[in-house]
Structure 1
Amino acid sequence: MTTTGDEVRAVALSLARTTEQFEWQMPTFRVAGKLFLTLPENETSMAVRCPIADRDELVQAEPDKFWIAPHEVMNAWVRVRLAALDDVEELEAIVTDSWRQAAPRELTESE
């Protein structure tokens, strides 16, 4: 599957209280004002929230799909190569998981 930035955008914006902004020369997505996704590298990858322990396991297990940007080593973020995603379900799961980590409790409890 070759995932595009537009497909990421559609999934992200389908989630409650999500807005898109353009910051740091790239599209960024926030839920209730909290950042949960960016589309760097000319929209060929996405950066999403991911607990550090989980992130490190993902990178070890699938280094062609996941990696850590040097400036994000100390933060709970992981990069995902869009062209390496298996299908739309995987895209939706990754984006939704990142959204849940940033969303206010009242939004995640109502799902």
Structure 2
Amino acid sequence: MVTVEDVRALASPLPRSEEHLVRDQVKFRVGRLVYLALSRDETTLGFAYPKEHRAGLVAAEPRKFQLPRESDLRFNWVHASLSELDADELAELVINAWTMCVPKKVAAAYLGAG
């Protein structure tokens, strides 16, 4: 199980990542693009994820991952139960969500590929 502090520890040092409190929800964004959002009760993490792959992710582990509410299906977004994630999974989700929002050069430089 991971915590909000684990999310914060991964997201805060990422280049261009900023933490904001919006309507009592912790959100991380790059510019105006939100790539992580914690539920108000801090049990669920919403994260950027490619639309074309999310159905497979949810189908593979429905206890861990859920689709967003119907009104948010137009966005690249999935929800995960923090109680079901381990530290390695969280790190992968946070980094992948962040890379969807930053310029490719920024991501490559941070990840050591450029």
- Structure 2, unpaired ranges of 5+: none
**Partner in structure 2 of residue 82 of structure 1:** 82
Q: TM-score, length-normalised on structure 1?
A: 0.90
CA contact (8 A) 1:32 1:104 kept: no
**How well do the aligned residues superpose, as a CA RMSD in angstroms?**
1.3
> In 1, distance between residues paired with 2:31 and 2:40?
25
Q: Percent identity of the aligned residues?
A: 31
Report how far residue 41 of structure 1 moved: 4.0
Q: TM-score, length-normalised on structure 2?
A: 0.88
CA contact (8 A) 1:37 1:47 kept: yes
> In 2, distance between residues paired with 1:83 and 1:66?
11
**Partner in structure 2 of residue 66 of structure 1:** 65
> In 2, distance between residues paired with 1:74 and 1:34?
15
Q: Deviation per CA, 1:30-69, whole angstroms, max 9, x where unpaired?
A: 1244211101141111111111121111111100000012
User: How many residues were matched structurally?
Assistant: 109
Q: 3-state SS of the aligned residue for 2:41?
A: helix
2:24 equivalent to 1:31: no
Q: Which runs of 4+ in 1 moved over 6 A?
A: none
